[in-house]
């Protein structure tokens, strides 16, 4: 076991220096996810205003990664007070500088609005109350483009500990004791994967970080790589030490340009600090990392397809065994871990495997990041101990569904998962329990659905996705998903046959059982769970030619109720066909004698149903809900 | 596509050599990266360019086309100046992305995967952009437009100079306007 080296001493000095330089006064703006809603403009406004107020040297202005509560984008954190401002525009910045940074008071209108009024401090906001950020601890705090910022917050401390005081077996034992399971979806015990790769014969071993986050609705890996890329690198380095890998790859989706950019920077900075290369921190360990950008194929999230893609081939999976731990990349022993899994490694070493195992449930230990999206008030990323209930996630953290609708189901695990209906609100979310109701915890994407979601249409949507993304290698997946899609499309078009539902169940079972890889083996899940939990919706489509949620276009019609129409003409203007006619003016019922004399009385608008393309533009724009959809 | 082949025959192939050199020693594992570089440089995977890539790399051209036709990212035909990507992720789906797509299709007069005749826009759908909190989302080149309505999506395209195309995108004369 190597001792302290001069290189490690140098890294520690760099960390101490970075800590000394770390100012107490800081404004942190998420400029990754929030970039889409003007975060860079807000940052520029802060630069201007801080300069104007003569505060540039006194206030650290940081561009950070995701701060979690994406619904409030752009999210701004003000420290040391721990104030969180949500949804600020550049024109709000002078007030923030004046009131908070100079005046020491709070701009209440930009705070999280709780039931009892504004909540200025992050720690008091219910969204953060039950969270337990281990993986996301630095995300949103540090500047992800600066290794100094990461070092000051403790990056690479656990790598030092592993390299100076822990044999590879001891690291694996600690991870095994933690009970960590793969966070990419399948939930395989990480310690076992590592020891299998370590035990495999051969000098050359590969380590791969799977950042091909393809599940629609999941964005935690993107947030981790964008917001704390050094957490991924530290996880990779510790894993490389444990399994004896010399070369690592990070396979990132090409759709995540900011993640690729931040990772490239992090790799270059890590190399400068002696954290990558032939003699890491002077300990003699050799390891390097390359980035491989995916090229837009969902199936490449499957590990053997991912290997094929790194090898430069079409991303088609192959049969297992042999498992990658025995024969992976270019036939060499290979360990493939998901981003979140790797980002858990340093926190586990820091707190100890046993303490980590105290979080979560008996079979599912630790924390999990969930991406809350869909019909929920506070969308965003949350990290909670596994075993939290759906109710806590959706209502306590997510603030429930928006007013006027009701929670119907949560779609978990993307195209491989299923829908968990409202009656399971008190169900604890862990690998096993979620599986019992037909869904999977998967990578943690959680799409909240309300009454306006048609479950048959949703099943059709996922099957369309799987049929398109099927790599075509094995017939059960290639043909099975296509046939299932045809049936679902037929049902949604009001042409369902009485035997269709049973046919879907039968086909679904066969596709699951006979497909080569995870894509096909799980593709029928969204269909099978919606049939299981929402059979009546399928029956309404097939037997009554009716879509209860009024989503399936061929089964709905729009009608303007003349007695409600105020003759404003907005619907006719919005209609793209156009198929709506009427006369703008005062509604006949409200018109006065004078209006009549002046010819100002309108005529209620009406839809020519034969021409209507059922786009719903009129329905959405009508200010008085005079349009009926059914 | 006569125009295309005329254009393609005049392509400067020198950058292909640079791309191959940047991957040296070139092996099969570099195929995807090299094709990505080529597409960045030329906008799409033009036939002569891919042929040159294969020739210089010493690998069979079929390997390159096998990869190019498998991954959604690669285009074998010229692409528009702007790429419009409508997200079809789950969160976007339940928050109205089908309507966004319809509006964009009507506005540009082209279907998913096609390019407008003036080569200004190419339209694509993408499985998920990972920005579900913005749903429904559309990405135009590298700019995200979130929390969209069909109207706003069309306005974005209008502002980028989309020409009125296709049927049903113009209002008939005499269509009443909003009094407010």
Q: B152 burial class (0-12, 13-18, 19+ CB within 10 angstroms)?
A: middle
Considering CB atoms only, which of B103, B132, B179 is closest to A371? B132
Considering CB atoms only, which of A255, A292, A570 is closest to B129? A255
Q: pLDDT tier at B2 (50, 70, 90 boundaries)?
A: very low
Q: Is A74 at the interface with chain B, CB within 8 A?
A: no
pLDDT single digits (tens) A314-342: 999 999 999 999 999 999 999 999 999 99
Domains of chain B by residue range? 10-68, 82-159
A17, A398, A601 from A420: Cα distances, Å: 50, 16, 51
A564-568 long-range contacts (CB < 8 A, ≥24 apart) are A564/A624, A564/A625, A564/A626, A565/A604, A565/A605, A565/A624, A565/A626, A566/A590, A566/A623, A566/A624, A566/A626, A567/A602, A567/A603, A567/A604, A567/A605, A568/A623, A568/B178, A568/B179, A568/B180
Q: Is A555 at the interface with chain B, CB within 8 A?
A: no
Q: Is A35 at the interface with chain B, CB within 8 A?
A: yes
Mutate to test the interface with B, among A213, A216, A250 (most CBs of B within 10 A): A216
B161 - beta bridge partners?
A: none
Q: Is A213 at the interface with chain B, CB within 8 A?
A: yes
Asked if pLDDT for residue B168 goes beyond 70, the answer is: no
Please name each of the domains of chain A with its CATH number. 25-79+83-120 (3.40.30.10), 181-338 (3.40.50.11540), 367-450 (3.10.20.600), 455-543 (1.20.1440.230), 557-629 (3.30.70.20)
Report how many helices (DSSP H) and strands (DSSP E) chain B contains, helices first. 8, 4
| Best CA proximity match to A281, nearest among A337, A252, A240, A320 | A240
Number of Cβ pairs < 8 A linking chain A and chain B: 179
Q: Pairing state of beta strands A247-252 and A206-211? A: parallel
| Helical segments of A2-68, H only | 6-21, 39-52
Determine the Cα–Cα distance for residues B165 and B71; give it in Å rounded to an integer. Answer: 30
A84, A95, A357 from A51: Cα distances, Å: 22, 14, 48
Determine the Cα–Cα distance for residues A387 and A427; give it in Å rounded to an integer. Answer: 8
The number of residues in chain A equals 630
Q: pLDDT tier at B100 (50, 70, 90 boundaries)?
A: very high
Determine the Cα–Cα distance for residues A85 and A34; give it in Å rounded to an integer. Answer: 13
| CB-CB neighbors (< 8 A) of B169 in chain A | 576
Considering CB atoms only, which of B130, B146, B171 is closest to A213? B130
Q: Is A212 at the interface with chain B, CB within 8 A?
A: no
* Assigned token pair, A300: 């490449």
| CB-CB neighbors (< 8 A) of B71 in chain A | 294-297, 314-315
Asked if pLDDT for residue B174 goes beyond 80, the answer is: no
CA distance B74 to chain A (A): 7
What pLDDT sits at residue A396?
Answer: 94
The DSSP string of A287-336 is EEEEEEE--S-GGGGSHHHHHHHHTTS------SSSPTTTS-GGGS-EEE
Q: Is there a contact between A312 and B32 if contact means CB atoms under 8 Å apart? A: yes
Q: What is the mean pLDDT of each run of 10 residues along chain A (630 residues)?
A: 83 95 92 91 97 94 96 95 96 97 96 94 94 96 96 96 95 97 92 97 95 90 96 98 97 91 97 96 96 92 95 95 95 97 98 96 94 93 96 94 91 91 94 91 91 95 95 96 98 96 98 96 96 97 95 92 94 90 91 89 93 89 91
What pLDDT sits at residue A589?
Answer: 87
* Assigned token pair, A420: 């968990």
What pLDDT sits at residue A572?
Answer: 94
| CB-CB neighbors (< 8 A) of A329 in chain B | none
Q: Is B72 at the interface with chain A, CB within 8 A?
A: yes
Question: In chain B, which among 37-56 make CB contacts under 8 A with chain A?
Answer: none
Q: Is A620 at the interface with chain B, CB within 8 A?
A: yes
Dihedral (CA of A590, A595, A597, A600) sign: negative
Q: Is A241 at the interface with chain B, CB within 8 A?
A: no
Q: Is there a contact between A216 and B137 if contact means CB atoms under 8 Å apart? A: no
DSSP state of A392: I
Q: Is A558 at the interface with chain B, CB within 8 A?
A: no
CA distance B133 to chain A (A): 5
Q: Is there a contact between B94 and A213 if contact means CB atoms under 8 Å apart? A: no
Q: Is there a contact between A36 and B131 if contact means CB atoms under 8 Å apart? A: yes
* Assigned token pair, A546: 């009716």
Determine the Cα–Cα distance for residues B57 and B132; give it in Å rounded to an integer. Answer: 40
A412 - beta bridge partners?
A: A418, A446
Mutate to test the interface with A, among B62, B131, B169 (most CBs of A within 10 A): B131
pLDDT single digits (tens) A368-400: 999 999 999 999 999 999 999 999 999 999 999
Encode burial over A319-358: b for 16+ CB neighbours within 10 A, e otherwise: eeeebbbbbbbeebbbbbbbbbbbbbbbbbbebebeebbe
What pLDDT sits at residue A569?
Answer: 94
Considering CB atoms only, which of A213, A379, A569 is closest to B178? A569
Topology of the domain comprising B82-159: Glutaredoxin (3.40.30)
Q: Is there a contact between A569 and B103 if contact means CB atoms under 8 Å apart? A: no
End-to-end CA separation in angstroms for chain A: 72
Q: Over range B21-31, report the average pLDDT.
A: 94
What pLDDT sits at residue A254?
Answer: 85
Q: Is there a contact between B134 and A617 if contact means CB atoms under 8 Å apart? A: no
pLDDT single digits (tens) A170-224: 999 999 999 999 998 889 999 999 999 999 999 999 999 999 998 888 999 999 9
Q: pLDDT tier at B134 (50, 70, 90 boundaries)?
A: confident
pLDDT single digits (tens) A438-483: 889 888 999 999 999 999 999 999 999 999 999 999 999 999 999 9
What pLDDT sits at residue A2?
Answer: 56
Would you say B111 and B123 are in contact if contact means Cβ atoms under 8 Å apart?
yes
Q: Is there a contact between B128 and A254 if contact means CB atoms under 8 Å apart? A: no
Considering CB atoms only, which of A37, A254, A311 is closest to B146? A37
Q: Is B151 at the interface with chain A, CB within 8 A?
A: yes
Q: Which helix (H) or strand (E) holds A509?
A: helix A500-514
ipTM exceeds 0.90? no
Return the higher-pLDDT residue of A313 and B10: A313
Would you say A571 and A618 are in contact if contact means Cβ atoms under 8 Å apart?
yes
User: Residue A208: helix, strand or coil by DSSP?
Assistant: strand
What pLDDT sits at residue B4?
Answer: 67
DSSP state of A489: H
Q: Is there a contact between B32 and A374 if contact means CB atoms under 8 Å apart? A: no
Mutate to test the interface with A, among B27, B132, B149 (most CBs of A within 10 A): B132
| Best CA proximity match to A394, nearest among A435, A445, A448 | A448
CA distance A581 to chain B (A): 8
Report how many helices (DSSP H) and strands (DSSP E) chain A contains, helices first. 24, 20
Q: What are phi and psi of A420, to 5 degrees?
A: -100, 115
What pLDDT sits at residue B163?
Answer: 66
The number of residues in chain B equals 180
* Chain Cα centroid distance, residue B36: 14
* Assigned token pair, A62: 């940081």
């Amino acid at each position: 076991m190597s001792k302290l080296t001069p290189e490690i001493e140098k890294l520690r000095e760099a960390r101490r220096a970075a800590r000394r330089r770390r100012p107490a006064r800081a404004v942190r703006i998420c400029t990754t996810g929030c970039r889409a809603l003007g975060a860079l403009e807000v940052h520029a406004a802060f630069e201007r205003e801080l300069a104007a107020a003569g505060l540039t040297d006194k206030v650290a202005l940081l561009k950070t990664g995701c701060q979690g509560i994406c619904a409030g984008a752009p999210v701004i954190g003000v420290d040391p007070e721990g104030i969180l401002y949500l949804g600020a525009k550049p024109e709000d910045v002078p007030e923030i500088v004046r009131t908070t940074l100079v005046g020491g008071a709070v701009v209440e209108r930009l705070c999280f609005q709780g039931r009892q009024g504004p909540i200025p401090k992050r720690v008091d906001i219910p969204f953060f109350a039950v969270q337990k950020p281990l993986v996301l601890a630095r995300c949103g705090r540090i500047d992800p483009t600066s290794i100094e910022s990461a070092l000051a917050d403790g990056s690479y401390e656990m790598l030092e500990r592993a390299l100076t005081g822990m044999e590879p077996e001891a690291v694996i034992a600690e991870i095994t004791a933690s009970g960590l399971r793969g966070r990419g979806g399948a939930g395989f015990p990480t310690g076992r994967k590592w020891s299998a790769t370590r035990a495999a014969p051969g000098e050359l071993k590969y380590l791969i970080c799977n950042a091909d986050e393809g599940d629609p609705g999941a964005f935690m890996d993107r947030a981790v790589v964008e917001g704390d890329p050094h957490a991924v690198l530290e996880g990779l380095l510790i894993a490389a030490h444990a399994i004896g890998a010399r070369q690592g790859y990070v396979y990132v989706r090409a759709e995540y340009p900011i993640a690729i950019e931040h990772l490239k920077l992090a790799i270059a900075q890590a190399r400068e600090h002696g954290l990558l290369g032939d003699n890491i921190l002077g300990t003699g360990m050799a390891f390097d990392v390359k980035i491989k950008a995916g090229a837009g194929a969902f199936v490449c999230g499957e590990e053997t397809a991912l290997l094929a893609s790194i090898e430069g081939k079409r991303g088609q999976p192959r049969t297992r065994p042999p498992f990658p731990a025995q024969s992976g990349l270019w036939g060499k022993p290979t360990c493939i871990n998901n981003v979140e899994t790797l980002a858990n490694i340093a926190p586990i070493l820091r707190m100890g495997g046993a303490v980590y195992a105290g979080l979560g449930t008996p079979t599912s230990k630790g924390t999990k990041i969930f991406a809350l999206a869909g019909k929920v008030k506070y969308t965003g990323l949350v990290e909670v101990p596994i075993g939290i209930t759906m109710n806590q996630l959706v209502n306590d953290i997510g603030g429930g569904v928006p007013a006027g609708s009701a929670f119907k189901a949560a779609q978990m695990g993307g195209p491989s998962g299923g829908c968990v209906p409202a009656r399971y609100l008190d169900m604890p979310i862990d690998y096993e329990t979620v599986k019992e109701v037909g869904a999977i915890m998967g990578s943690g994407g959680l799409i909240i659905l309300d009454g306006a979601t048609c479950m048959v249409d949703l099943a059709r949507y996922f099957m369309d996705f799987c049929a398109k993304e099927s790599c075509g290698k094995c017939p059960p997946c290639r043909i099975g998903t296509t046939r299932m899609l045809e049936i679902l499309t037929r049902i949604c078009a009001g042409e369902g046959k009485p035997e269709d539902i049973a046919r879907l169940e039968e086909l679904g079972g066969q596709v699951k059982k006979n497909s080569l890889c995870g894509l096909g083996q799980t593709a029928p899940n969204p269909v099978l769970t919606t049939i299981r939990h929402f059979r009546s919706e399928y029956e309404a489509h097939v037997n009554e030619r009716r879509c209860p949620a009024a989503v399936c276009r061929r089964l709905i019609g729009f009608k303007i109720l003349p007695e409600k129409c105020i003759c404003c003409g907005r619907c006719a203007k919005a209609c793209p066909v156009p198929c709506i006619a009427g006369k703008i003016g005062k509604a006949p019922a409200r018109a006065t004698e004078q209006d009549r004399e002046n010819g100002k009385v309108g005529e209620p608008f009406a839809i020519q149903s034969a021409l209507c393309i059922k786009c719903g533009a009129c329905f959405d724009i009508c200010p008085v809900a005079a349009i009926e959809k059914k | 596509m006569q125009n295309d082949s005329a254009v393609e025959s005049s392509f400067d192939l020198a950058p292909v050599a640079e791309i191959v050199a940047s991957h040296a020693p070139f092996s099969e594992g570099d195929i995807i990266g090299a094709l990505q570089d080529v597409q960045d440089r030329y906008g799409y995977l033009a036939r002569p360019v891919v042929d040159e890539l294969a020739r210089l790399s010493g690998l069979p051209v079929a390997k390159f086309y096998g990869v190019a036709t498998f991954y959604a990212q690669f285009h074998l035909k010229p692409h528009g100046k702007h790429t419009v990507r409508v997200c079809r992720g789950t969160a976007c789906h339940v928050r109205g992305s089908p309507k966004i797509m319809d509006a964009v299709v009507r506005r540009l007069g082209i279907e998913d995967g096609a390019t407008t005749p003036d080569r200004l826009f190419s339209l694509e759908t993408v499985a998920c952009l990972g920005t579900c909190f913005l749903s429904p989302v559309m990405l135009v080149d590298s700019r995200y437009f979130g929390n969209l309505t069909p109207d706003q999506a069309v306005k974005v395209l209008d502002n980028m100079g989309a020409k009125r195309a296709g049927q049903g995108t113009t209002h008939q004369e005499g269509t009443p306007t909003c009094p407010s």
